[in-house]
Structure 1
Amino acid sequence: MSKELQRDFDVLSELERGRFGTVYKCASRSNADHIFAVKSIDKLVVGAGDFLDALCLSNEAKIVQLLNPHPNIVTLHKVYEDENHLHLLFELCDDADFHSRLAQGTSAIPESDASRIMRQLMQAVSHCHRLGVAHRDIKPENILFTGQHGGRLKLADFGSAEIFKEGELIRGVVGTPYYVAPEVVAGREYNEKVDVWSSGVILYMMLSGNPPFDGETEVEIFEAVLRGNLRFPRQYFQSVSREAKDLLRRMICKDVCRRFSAEEVLSHPWFSIFADKTT
């Protein structure tokens, strides 16, 4: 770690280890009650890898600074850099990430809870798109929460994000099986609506406890995504409202022209059903 970072913070524990670096929990030396998460990116590892990976990771700090402040996007407080590492000091989201929440139970999340979570996620996505940023890797692991027991949602990890201009298409195969949009899998150019598809997949999983497109291998999952045959099995969707299913059809839509934008998602009647519970 950089000497400047070590001067200002005590590293308490390791939170997560990834392909290009590690996330640590750290405390301010001036006030031990001020706890943060620092994402340490190994520039040597990044530089030895794919050029696109290196470019995306080098842009992450710039992109998050562009998006801050927003109540549903993780806050970047400071950037430290030395010869070998880039250290991004983020707010600490100390509740379990969304992936853990989905994995904890075998049943679906109640619609009222799903509505509250999805509203916050789409507010973050809409903010990104208004400022010309496509996240490109929306998945449960990148949805964090502050506080305990359903605190405020924070969209995180902009390492795959891309800045775009209005009407401009994006290139690059990035994303995660289950959540990636079919136009990305097909290797075509695409726009920011890939984030709406991924968010729709998350909503489907919240309401049913299952992914909309599944397979035994990544290849089978990608083939199912490309087919895009959206179904609502009765055993999982019997008690799900028709408004929720209508929204899913408009988010998980192969035809990009017909797929909702993030703003259109937020205006869908489904959210008004639970308006008093999602504020």
Structure 2
Amino acid sequence: MSEALNRDYLICEEIGRGRFGTVFRCTSRSTGDSFAVKSIDKSLTSGDSLDAQCLLMEPKILHLLSPHPHIIQLYNLYEDEAHLHMVIDLCSGEDLHNLIIANGVIPEAEARLLFTQLMRAVSHCHKCGVVHRDIKPDNILLESRNTVKLADFGSAEVVMDGEMMNGVVGTPYYVAPEVLLGREYGEKVDVWSAGVVLYIMLAGFPPFYGETALEIFEAVLRGNLRFPVTTFQGVSPTVKDLLRRMLCKDVSKRFSAEQVLRHPWITNEESGAGSS
């Protein structure tokens, strides 16, 4: 651990582990406040690789997006020979993936509350020129049962004035079809991924399924969106309409993040969705 990091923070137990590093709980030695520190092992990425570039970009992107009530905040950054250490929000809850696993499905009213916060975060990213590119339940942290924060910007890209991106980035169930087709793509890939998240919250399973990554990709490319009666009989027609507009293969017809926030399913009952 960095000497400066140890001087400023007491490093506590490990609370998470990812492909490039480990997350610990830590406490500020000056205030006693609790945070998380994400320690990235620089040896796991080669200097010129896309992974290395993304890891170096993540703190810059978090700084660009802060502060926002539904995006993880970066407080301090430390670097030593072996690691990059990012001091970020400590979310006392788990992540959305664990909530779905524990509950099977999330009631529609609660799903609206959490999803509205997610889309506010996505809309803010897009206004700042940031495309997350890996929106999935694992990267949506629960600060409490009623508050989410979008996290893990390790795959994010900064784009300027409608600039397009390329490269297959993301997680099989959540990746947009235009990414899989090898085409240039824009910020609406995040809307597709968020649509998959919403579907899973309501159904307990993904809209496009396969036993292998290849089968999942084939299902995504077919884009045959269905609402099985046994699962969706208690779900409102309005949210199904929103899902069709988000999980639309035709990018020109797919909603933007701002259009999602203006959809009747979000606006009609927004009284419970917080004012942030």
For 2:272 and 2:146, how far apart are their aligned partners in 1? 13
Name segments (4+ residues, structure 1) moved above 4 Å: none
Give the Å deviation of 1:139.
Answer: 0.3
The C-alpha deviation readout for 1:170-226, integer Å capped at 9, x for no partner, is: 111110011111111122110000000000001111111111000111111111001
Query: With structure 2 as the length reference, what TM-score do the two structures score?
Result: 0.97
Figure out how many residues of one structure are paired with residues of the other and give that number: 274
Partner of 1:142: 139
Is 2:242 the counterpart of 1:247? yes
Partner of 2:87: 89
Report if the CA contact (8 A) 2:164-2:186 is conserved: yes
Q: 1:220-239, aligned counterparts within 5 Å? A: 220-239=215-234
Q: 1:261-276, aligned counterparts within 5 Å? A: 261-276=256-271
Is 2:159 the counterpart of 1:160? no
* CA RMSD of superposed structures (Å): 1.1
Partner of 2:65: 67
Give the Å deviation of 1:151.
Answer: 3.5
Give the Å deviation of 1:63.
Answer: 0.4
The C-alpha deviation readout for 1:74-133, integer Å capped at 9, x for no partner, is: 110010111221100001011111110011123x21111111111100000000000100
Contiguous gaps of at least 5 residues in structure 2:
none
Partner of 2:30: 30
For 1:80 and 1:151, how far apart are their aligned partners in 2? 31
Report if the CA contact (8 A) 1:22-1:39 is conserved: yes
Match of 1:211 among 206, 213, 216: 206
Report if the CA contact (8 A) 2:135-2:193 is conserved: yes
Give the Å deviation of 1:273.
Answer: 3.2
Give the Å deviation of 1:30.
Answer: 2.3
**Structure 1 residue identity aligned to 2:92:** D
For 2:65 and 2:249, how far apart are their aligned partners in 1? 28
For 2:259 and 2:192, how far apart are their aligned partners in 1? 13
Report if the CA contact (8 A) 1:112-1:278 is conserved: no
Partner of 2:186: 191
Decide which moves more: 178-187 or 64-73: 178-187
Is 2:168 the counterpart of 1:173? yes
Give the Å deviation of 1:274.
Answer: 2.1
Please state whether the residue corresponding to 2:86 is helix, strand or coil: strand
Q: 1:105-144, aligned counterparts within 5 Å? A: 105-106=103-104, 108-144=105-141
Is 2:255 the counterpart of 1:257? no
Match of 2:55 among 32, 57, 60: 57
The C-alpha deviation readout for 1:22-71, integer Å capped at 9, x for no partner, is: 11111112233x111001111121126x7111111110000000000111
Report if the CA contact (8 A) 1:95-1:151 is conserved: no
Report if the CA contact (8 A) 1:68-1:76 is conserved: yes
For 1:272 and 1:59, how far apart are their aligned partners in 2? 34
Please state whether the residue corresponding to 1:146 is helix, strand or coil: strand
Contiguous gaps of at least 5 residues in structure 1:
none
Identity among equivalent positions (%) equals: 59
Partner of 1:104: 102
Partner of 1:277: 272
For 2:65 and 2:201, how far apart are their aligned partners in 1? 26
